[in-house]
Amino acid sequence: MFPVRFLSFFLLLTLGVAQISRSQSNSLKSVANIYNVLDFGAKGDGRTLNTKSIQLAVDAAAKTSGTILIPNGNFLSGTIFLRSNVRLELTGGSVLMASPSMKDYIRHNWGPSDNRTPWHLLVADKAKNISISGTGTINGDGSRFWKKERANAWVNYEVNGDRPCPLLEFSQCENVLMENVTIANSPGWTSHFISSKNLTIRNLTISNSLFAPDGDGLILTGCSDVNISDCRIATSESAIAVRTTANSGPSERIAIRNCILETMGIALQVGYESRQAIRDVMMSGIVVKNCSRILDIRSAEGGILERIHLSEVSGQTNSGKPANRIIEIDLNELPDLTRIKNKNHPDFGKMIPLTGKGAIRDVSITDVDVQTDGRIMMAAADGMMLENIFLDNIHLRYTMIDNSLALSKRSDTIADYFKGSMDLRTAPAAVAVKNINGFSLDHFRISWPVFPVPDSWNLLKSDNRFLEPGWYKDNESRIKSGELKPTFKAFWGKNVKGGLLELSTVRASEPGIGKTECTGCSLTIRE
């Protein structure tokens, strides 16, 4: 049964965000004055630089709470600063194209991340009551900023010098609407909202290369009262990410609904950069394509992550990269993650000390039906505990089984990220959990592989430094045929205190191996 405390919270969150969306829409639709960029000297020929003309239109519209109209055509531009009380409207045949020349971009700010730059195509800073709408396209012309070749088919492109990243940057904004537009070919991060509130993002399409460097889709950093719905996002890294930093404030009251997410990375990411609290996040009606993880919840820098709910998920984890996950939750303590390594960054070498220990608690995940070769993994580092993790109606459909033991061969320094949990990460089980107070898994189903593995399922075809060299590459035919197939238990646990584990409807992947292993556990297990 779904916990009552979760139901009451999500009802209030849904009603509150819906009210924000309605009031936001009404205020923005009242805009009347139209400023066509052609009237300010812009030319949609794909060659003329229109930065000055478009900025003049924006500044004029700001005086009358007007609409900036970008008509049919290809309008090349550098940095544009949006103002309060304006609406940017792109018609169906219009393209706002990012200039390939960095001299056309105006420095804004660096921010805390190495992969974020101080250059952007659209910037809104301390702006209120703004919108970007229409059925046109914002094109970042990403490949102009990358090296032409990749080392192999499974790695991202490398950056070739500076680039606008994020393509769209909203800082300390309020009452923002983004709807119907397409954002394509971003050079890096696509759209970033930081320390902003009352945001509605709906029917948005993001269409990026699946191998763009740092190609995140929507990133929310320290944002509140956010409604994201009916979006289609294809990109290389996190499709939608909710984060905080040391100076951003919390991220809270966020609803993500009815979205189709395709990525070679993480579909839904909560945490990662998490110096402040992240709470009251509801995600539902999610369809995933490819992806290495559907949901990643992570606190490693002292953030408190609480009241997070995911429901109604379908699709597959089939990125072709190693170590696919259905869901991963990780509580750790790694302050060095924020050390700036880019020598051009003004804070190069700086590290912000932790303010306290992080926590992840009150997480519910329900109604998940996915095709995969990976696992559900949830762990806290030794000396820390996850709290109140609830899973219900989970169906895992295995096309093949991941080689979990390959992770033990890691030799790079990033293995420190897994301190205290390598035993869990190498545990051969569909669900592996460690260090949890209050854990429930009910209505659990597993469909084990039926060989051969279909050709449509991605297998890693190149060596990868994170794994035992060559395991996938050297054994592809044997893996596809089922001749070589690692075995999985249904469940592996360590130090799990309190709760219910219902395993009567599942079995291990092969006869003769136990379906359950739980060390130092004190919970009700029904086999």
In 3D space, the residue among 406, 394, 516, 386 whose CA is nearest the CA of residue 465 turns out to be: 406
Judgement on whether residues 55 and 136 belong to the same structural domain of the protein: yes
476, pLDDT greater than 90: no
Banded pLDDT at 291 (limits 50, 70, 90)? very high
In this structure, is residue 463 part of a structural domain? Answer: yes
The H-or-E segment that residue 28 falls in is: helix 4-29
31, pLDDT greater than 50: no
pLDDT value of residue 214 = 92
In this structure, is residue 280 part of a structural domain? Answer: no
**Cα torsion through 492, 418, 379, 357, rounded to 10:** 160
In this structure, is residue 250 part of a structural domain? Answer: no
Quote the number of domains for the chain. Answer: 2
Judgement on whether residues 317 and 215 belong to the same structural domain of the protein: no
pLDDT in tens, 333-373: 876 666 676 777 777 777 766 767 899 999 999 999 999 99
Q: Where are the alpha helices (DSSP H) in 377-512?
A: 422-425, 471-474, 476-481
Top-confidence residue, 322 or 210:
210
* Exposed/middle/buried for residue 57 (C-beta within 10 Å: 0-12, 13-18, 19+): buried
107 to 145, 164, 193: CA distances (angstroms): 17, 10, 17
Alpha carbons 491 and 297: distance in angstroms, whole number: 20
Q: Which of 210-219, 287-296, 465-474 has the lowest mean pLDDT?
A: 465-474
Alpha carbons 525 and 527: distance in angstroms, whole number: 6
Judgement on whether residues 113 and 198 belong to the same structural domain of the protein: yes
Judgement on whether residues 304 and 190 belong to the same structural domain of the protein: no
Tell me the HSE value of 375 on the side-chain side, using a 13 A CA sphere: 29
pLDDT value of residue 351 = 72
Q: Which residue has the tokens 């018609």?
A: 91
pLDDT value of residue 105 = 97
CATH number at residue 2: 2.160.20.10
* Exposed/middle/buried for residue 46 (C-beta within 10 Å: 0-12, 13-18, 19+): exposed
In 3D space, the residue among 296, 221, 310 whose CA is nearest the CA of residue 265 turns out to be: 296
In this structure, is residue 251 part of a structural domain? Answer: no
Q: Which residue has the tokens 């979205």?
A: 259
Last residue of some domain: 195, 219, 237? 237
Contact 88, 121 (CB under 8 A): no
Judgement on whether residues 525 and 425 belong to the same structural domain of the protein: yes
Banded pLDDT at 417 (limits 50, 70, 90)? low
Contact 523, 500 (CB under 8 A): yes
pLDDT value of residue 399 = 95
Judgement on whether residues 183 and 328 belong to the same structural domain of the protein: no
Judgement on whether residues 328 and 460 belong to the same structural domain of the protein: yes
Alpha carbons 199 and 281: distance in angstroms, whole number: 14
In this structure, is residue 252 part of a structural domain? Answer: no
Judgement on whether residues 308 and 204 belong to the same structural domain of the protein: no
Judgement on whether residues 485 and 385 belong to the same structural domain of the protein: yes
3-state secondary structure of 133: strand
In this structure, is residue 486 part of a structural domain? Answer: yes
Last residue of some domain: 221, 237, 253? 237
In 3D space, the residue among 52, 125, 45, 59 whose CA is nearest the CA of residue 88 turns out to be: 59
Range of the domain at 329: 295-527
Judgement on whether residues 206 and 303 belong to the same structural domain of the protein: no
Judgement on whether residues 97 and 225 belong to the same structural domain of the protein: yes
In this structure, is residue 435 part of a structural domain? Answer: yes
In 3D space, the residue among 113, 125, 119 whose CA is nearest the CA of residue 98 turns out to be: 119
Alpha carbons 282 and 16: distance in angstroms, whole number: 12
In this structure, is residue 259 part of a structural domain? Answer: no
Last residue of some domain: 237, 271, 306? 237
Judgement on whether residues 193 and 45 belong to the same structural domain of the protein: yes
